[in-house]
């Protein structure tokens, strides 16, 4: 019997991979109808258990609000499912009759699903649905602080899948997660692709594993409020977005960029809707607990404003929904300017939208390149300028970035894994879905002949031109010259 946690977890990974391999091969042979039946059963099981799993996640991790985690679970079970349910993932998925090209879907194989502590159960639901929809097996490696709720979520999904006809061994979750186990999972020869959601170090490890990987980056999301915006609506959406699950979604707003022309009335509206602006003394105390040894303080992540205020040793009004500090600087030495996975916002004042553009880029470069940017504006020229210039993969207009970024309130693909493109050292800027876990093969029919003249020219030997005349010497002429030279030499 193996007692060492590291060795036990590594062995567990190897066992799961050996079980997943034949299960995936069996799943691969199933029809679209069979796959869709399995995925539907999984989504229904997740929906029915959404509240129970949410309570488990909050109880185990201490992050966020159970009601909001339930909403996230339902988003994965309903919105994501609705977006993928009609997607073709089996056999010939598209025929272009004009070009004579068929597209054939083939699964990647076994997916390694890395799960964060901030959104554990919803991430497991989401990744399991898109993996199985694409006829893959998936093995989850949860954050150690979220192991129990992830194991239970994976168990529930596996059970639902098997009852709907899926082979046993398709979905697994490491029960004793360790760094060694995660490394083994990512590098093992049976693992085909990595779907990594987590901290920067974990995502870098995924990309360094030697396997194809979809990773995501941090989201230091700036949101600019233009004078053309509907200020009360913009503030309502912003606060609803930032306070959802106490700011644990990486697409949530991190800094408000207020146009000077509307600063006073926007601040008044923020205060009216539950924002508390810290004075300089309070700002310093809160800043002191945002970062610890150069990294985000995990004890503050996903906590309420009241808990954060108590940690900082300050008193805030009853009913406070979000803490706001006016800021002028950007950088690691200014904690309010970094990504804060909590209901805390920096507030900057900019002269106009051009200054807002420049400051947005600064904030994204600090720690959110390629992720998300928010804009409350009705001027299409300004919106276009932001869209063209910003190193962000999602520019969310007139919506909270938390919900807009994941596709809950916008028309982009509903997803819990948001690519940051080359801006953020990611392979894609897409919202990840089943299509990213498929190999698309192309059957290409001949639709034209190569012109005979081009074929003859390409097959003919190279010809040289004489430097003096530019006359092209043919092969026969070359042979005649050689023969005459030989005869001349023989005569001598």
pLDDT by position in tens, the chain (length 492): 556 888 999 999 999 999 999 999 999 999 999 999 999 999 999 999 999 999 999 999 999 999 999 999 999 999 999 999 999 999 999 999 999 999 999 999 999 999 999 999 999 999 999 999 999 999 999 999 999 999 999 999 999 999 999 999 999 999 999 999 999 999 999 999 999 987 777 778 888 888 999 988 789 999 999 999 999 999 999 999 999 999 999 999 999 999 999 999 999 999 999 999 999 999 999 999 999 988 899 999 999 999 999 999 999 999 999 999 999 999 999 999 999 999 999 999 999 999 999 999 999 999 999 999 999 999 999 999 989 989 999 999 999 999 999 999 999 999 999 999 999 888 999 999 999 999 999 999 999 998 887 667 766 665 554 444 455 566 666 566 666 666 665 555
Residues β-bridged to residue 472: 465
The two beta strands, 322-326 and 275-277, are parallel
Cα separation, 256 vs 356, whole angstroms: 10
Residue (of 384, 326, 325, 392) closest to 353 by Cα position: 384
Report the alpha-carbon distance of residue 363 to residue 331 in Å, rounded.
Answer: 8
Note the pLDDT of residue 425: 87
Q: What is the location of CATH 3.40.309.10 in the chain?
A: 221-412
CATH superfamily of 5-215+434-442: Aldehyde Dehydrogenase; Chain A, domain 1 (3.40.605.10)
What pLDDT, on the 0 to 100 scale, is given for residue 223? 98
Q: What is the pLDDT of residue 465?
A: 46
Residues carrying an active site annotation? 250
Q: Parallel, antiparallel, or unpaired for β 137-142 and 171-173?
A: parallel
Asked if residues 105 and 440 have their Cβ atoms less than 8 Å apart, the reply is: yes
Q: Which residue has the tokens 């994965």?
A: 76
Question: How many Å apart are CA 124 and CA 171, to the nearest integer?
Answer: 10
Burial class for 285, CB neighbours closer than 10 Å (0-12, 13-18, 19+): middle
Domain 221-412 = CATH 3.40.50.1100: no
Q: How far apart are CA 68 and CA 249, in angstroms?
A: 11
Look at residue 466 in the predicted model and tell me its pLDDT.
Answer: 47
Parts of the chain belonging to CATH 3.40.605.10: 5-215+434-442
Q: What is the pLDDT of residue 473?
A: 60
Nearest 10 degrees: CA dihedral of 273, 282, 265, 260?
A: -140
Look up residue 194 and give its DSSP letter.
E
């Amino acid at each position: 019997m193996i007692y060492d946690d590291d060795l036990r977890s590594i062995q567990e990974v190897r066992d799961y991979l050996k079980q997943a391999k034949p299960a995936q091969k069996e799943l691969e042979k199933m029809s679209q109808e069979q796959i869709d039946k399995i995925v539907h059963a999984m989504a229904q099981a997740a929906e029915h258990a959404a509240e129970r799993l949410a309570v488990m996640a909050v109880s185990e991790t201490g992050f966020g609000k159970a009601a909001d985690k339930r909403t996230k679970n339902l988003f994965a079970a309903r919105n994501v499912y609705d977006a993928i349910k009609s997607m073709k993932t089996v056999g010939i998925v598209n025929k272009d009759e004009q070009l004579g090209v068929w597209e054939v879907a083939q699964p990647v194989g076994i997916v390694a699903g890395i799960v964060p502590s901030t959104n554990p159960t919803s991430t497991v639901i989401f990744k399991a649905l898109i993996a199985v929809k694409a006829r893959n097996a998936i093995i989850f490696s949860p954050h150690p602080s979220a192991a129990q709720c992830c194991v239970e979520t994976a168990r529930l999904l596996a059970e639902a899948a098997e009852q709907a006809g899926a082979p046993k061994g398709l979905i697994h979750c490491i029960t004793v997660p360790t760094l060694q186990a995660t490394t083994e999972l990512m590098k093992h020869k049976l693992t085909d692709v990595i779907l990594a959601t987590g901290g920067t170090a974990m995502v870098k490890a995924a990309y360094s594993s030697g396997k194809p990987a979809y990773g995501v980056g941090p989201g230091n999301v700036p949101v600019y409020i233009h004078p053309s915006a509907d200020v009360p609506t913009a503030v309502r959406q912003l606060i609803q977005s930032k306070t959802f699950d106490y700011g644990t979604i990486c697409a949530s707003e991190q800094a408000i960029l207020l146009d000077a022309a509307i600063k006073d009335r926007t601040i008044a509206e923020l205060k009216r809707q539950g924002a508390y602006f810290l004075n300089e003394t309070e700002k310093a105390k809160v800043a002191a607990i945002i970062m610890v040894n150069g990294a985000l303080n995990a004890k503050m992540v996903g906590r309420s404003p009241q808990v954060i205020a108590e940690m900082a040793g300050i008193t805030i009004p009853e009913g406070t929904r979000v803490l706001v500090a006016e800021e002028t600087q950007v950088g690691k030495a200014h904690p309010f300017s970094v990504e804060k996975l909590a209901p805390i916002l920096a507030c900057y004042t900019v002269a106009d939208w051009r200054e807002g553009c420049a400051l947005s880029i600064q904030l994204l470069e600090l720690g959110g390149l390629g992720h998300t940017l928010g804009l409350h504006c009705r001027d299409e020229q300004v919106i276009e300028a932001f869209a063209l210039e910003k190193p962000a993969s999602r520019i969310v207009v007139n919506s909270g970035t938390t919900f807009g970024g994941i596709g809950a309130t916008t028309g982009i693909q509903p997803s819990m894994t948001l690519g940051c493109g080359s801006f953020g050292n990611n392979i894609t800027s897409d919202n990840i879905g089943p299509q990213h876990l498929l190999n698309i093969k192309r059957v290409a029919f001949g639709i034209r002949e190569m012109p005979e003249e081009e074929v003859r020219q390409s097959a003919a030997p190279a010809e040289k031109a004489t430097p003096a005349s530019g006359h092209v010497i043919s092969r026969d002429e070359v042979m005649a010259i050689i023969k005459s030279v030989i005869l001349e030499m023989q005569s001598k």
